[in-house]
Amino acid sequence: MGDIAGHLSEIRQRIAAAESRAGRAAGSVELVAVSKTFPPPPIREAYDAGQRHFGENRIQEFEGKSPQMQWPGAAWHMIGHVQSNKAARAAQLFDVVHTVDSASLARRLHEQRARSGKSPLDVFIEVKLSEEAAKTGAAETEVESLAKEIRTLDHLHLRGLMTMPPWSTDPEVARPYFRRLRAIGERVGVSEFSMGMTNDFETAIEEGSTLVRVGTAIFGKREKPLAADERR
């Protein structure tokens, strides 16, 4: 896996440089280290190097390893699709859910978070802007009504919007999708955007991202190839 602390330092420097190029305040972008499929030891290396926000995409996998990762200040982000029958566990296990794509899922998360006794769950609406069949998310035309619904739920806190552009090695392919998401966000009154991955996070920052989801550039390549909707 290499030098995780060194990789983190390099990513942070690149984030800072992108913030500067875009005329944005230093520290305005939060790095979510995508730790899915990795066991606790390398995640601990990242934690010891100062990383606090981590992204997972499979509830069962995270549930299995989370007892070994009860570290002060660590925040766990659910960045994968949440099935309705797993909403209860997601609401209990995670601090942030990036992939709310329907009113029914929002209501389930709200109900389960209320039962947990925890503070309101931070959520992002996942918006499907790509035509790829593997991608999930609310349609652009549904975002405004979904945002209104979430804002009526006391145990959810709508932080912003999230999207995944079509996969490409060229970060410029993603730029129009990032711009569209920001425009949608302005219409629905949110200012946080979860967008940008290992291959395009600097472009995302230039287009207004406030959270970037980076995994491969920190932890290295995963042994198992990922489906198109799982790449980070």
pTM of the model: 0.94
What does the pLDDT look like over 182-208, one tens digit per residue?
Answer: 999 999 999 999 999 999 999 999 999
Question: In Å, what is the CA distance from 16 to each residue of 147, 200, 217?
Answer: 31, 15, 16
Contact assessment for residue 136 and residue 101, using Cβ atoms and an 8 Å cutoff: yes
Tallying the residues shown for the chain, one arrives at 232
Question: Which residues are CB-contacts of 141 (< 8 A; sequence separation ≥ 6)?
Answer: none
CATH 3.20.20.10 given to domain 4-220 = yes
pLDDT the model gives residue 224: 56
What does the pLDDT look like over 105-138, one tens digit per residue?
Answer: 999 999 999 999 999 999 999 999 998 888 899 9
